[in-house]
Structure 1
Amino acid sequence: MSKETEKQRWQRNFADLLQELRVAQTGVQILFAFLLTLPFSNGFTRITEFQRDVYIVALLAAAAATAMIISPVAFHRALFRQGRKPELVRFAHRMASGGLAFMLISMVSAVLLITDFVLSRPVAFLLSAVTALWFLAFWVILPFARRGWGDDEIDDDDDDPQVLAGD
């Protein structure tokens, strides 16, 4: 079995990132679409000022997440056939990470908005905090905790964010 070249590795890293972005993009687009239609629903006129502010945070965070998660496509178009795959992979990694952060803010804000609308505010804050911790556990804590585990013989540098970021 032949060892892949550096160019092949960057190409594989980019393909892996694109696949990850497809998953995230679907989720953020569904959330964004929901938030875009919410003001046109009948009950939206009954929201409080606090709920309106939370809605704006959720909407803007979803917009930011959408822009960041889709941006590697535009970046790829701009750099197409210029042999700058390493730069593209590093950029896509940063945009995916930032997009996930904005997606987290949007998801938690949407949960806060809805729970505050149907439950008491203290319960809404509690459920939103639990939601934030849940996302952080699966998106940050567990992945970073797992970084040091596993077989030492497996070369998994291509999935290491610091390698992707060029650090």
Structure 2
Amino acid sequence: MTMTERPVEPADEDAVCCPRHHSDGSGSGGAEAPESARDRVNRRWNEILQETRVAQTGVQILFGFLLSVAFTPLFRELETFDRVVYVVTVVLGASATGSLIAPVSIHRFLSGQRMKDEVVQTAGRLMMCGMVLLALTIGCTLLLILRIVVPGPLAEALVGGVMLWFAICWFALPLRLRHRAARRTTRPREDGGAASS
């Protein structure tokens, strides 16, 4: 390592998720060069941009649909509870849109300020907040539609099932995979420590 290179922290969470930066025993010569701190933050920012594009498309289509509902003839026939659900849904959709577009605004304001680490961390948190708000927006939209289409308490049961599926796919599964990967990386260290003692 030269004097100008910055050391890479071994406990970085991205080292768990990105095996392309570690030895896989294939190719000529084995391991690739370790990822520098600057390369890592640039890669993480590009990943956030790609994820934001996907989420923004979904929330913008949904939000546009919600705004158009108020101008349909059927909207005047909604009961008070359904109108409250609609208002909550629109507010959640607007909040999700704000959270998912905020990383672009933050990057534009702080561009050139040598704060990319802070921008990436803040953008990641805003993305998570936006995903939660988006899930709630979808759940409320389903409730609003299914209460009109499906009679009785079946609408609430269906919405509850969909929200449970969202919680599993969007949050529980990634957290489980992250926990499993973290256990896999700590096990060789423990085995190595036990062997040396």
Shared topology, TM-score over 0.5? yes
Aligned partners of 1:4 and 1:118: how far apart in 2?
Answer: 53
SS in structure 2 at match of 1:40:
coil
> Which of 104, 107, 117 does residue 135 from structure 2 map onto?
104
Distance 1:42 1:119 in 2: 20
Query: Shift in Å at residue 5 of structure 1?
Result: 1.2
Are residues 1:57 and 2:120 paired? no
Give the one of 91, 101, 105 matched to 1:70. Answer: 101
Identity of aligned residues (%): 37
Higher relative contact order structure (alpha carbons within 8 Å, sequence separation ≥ 6): 1
Question: Is the CA contact 1:65–1:100 (under 8 Å) kept in the aligned structure 2?
Answer: yes
Q: In the alignment, which residue of structure 2 is the partner of 1:26?
A: 57
Q: Kindly tell me: are residues 142 and 117 of structure 1, through their superposed partners in 2, closer, same or farther at Cα, counting changes over 3 Å?
A: same
Hey, what does 1:93 align to over in structure 2?
A: 124
* C-alpha distance in 1 between matches for 2:91 and 2:181: 39
TM-score, normalised by the number of residues in structure 1:
0.87
Check conservation: 1:51, 1:117, Cα contact below 8 A: no
| Structure 2 CA distance for aligned equivalents of residues 112 and 127 of structure 1 | 8
Give the ranges of 4+ consecutive aligned residues of structure 1 lying more than 6 Å apart after TM superposition. none
**Secondary structure class of the residue paired with 2:70:** helix
- Residue 149 of structure 1 aligns to a residue whose secondary structure is helix
Query: What is aligned with 1:38?
Result: 69
Alignment of structure 1 residues 118-129 onto 2, 5 Å: 118-129=149-160
- 2: CA distance, partners of 1:46 / 1:27: 28
Which aligned pairs between 1:1-16 and structure 2 lie closer than 5 A? 1-16=32-47
Greater Cα radius of gyration, structure 1 or 2: 2
Instruction: Map residues 87-166 of structure 1 onto 2, 5 A cutoff.
Output: 87-150=118-181, 152=184
User: Structure 2: which amino acid aligns with 1:131?
Assistant: V
What do residues 81-140 of structure 1 show as CA deviations (whole Å, max 9, x unaligned)? Answer: 111110000100110011011111110000000001112241111011011101111001
Given residue 112 of structure 1, which amino acid in structure 2 is its aligned partner? L
The whole-number CA distance in structure 1 between the counterparts of 2:90 and 2:151 is 22
Distance 2:85 2:159 in 1: 12
Query: Unaligned regions of 5+ residues in structure 1, if any?
Result: 154-167
Mapped to 2, the partners of 1:111 and 1:148 lie a distance apart of: 32
Equivalent in the alignment of 2:18: none
TM-score for the superposition, normalised by structure 2? 0.74
For residues 8 and 66 of structure 1, what CA distance do their matches in structure 2 show?
A: 29
Which structure dedicates a bigger proportion of its chain to helix?
A: 1
Distance of 1:16 and 1:42 partners within structure 2 = 43
CA distance in 1, matches of 2:73, 2:126: 36
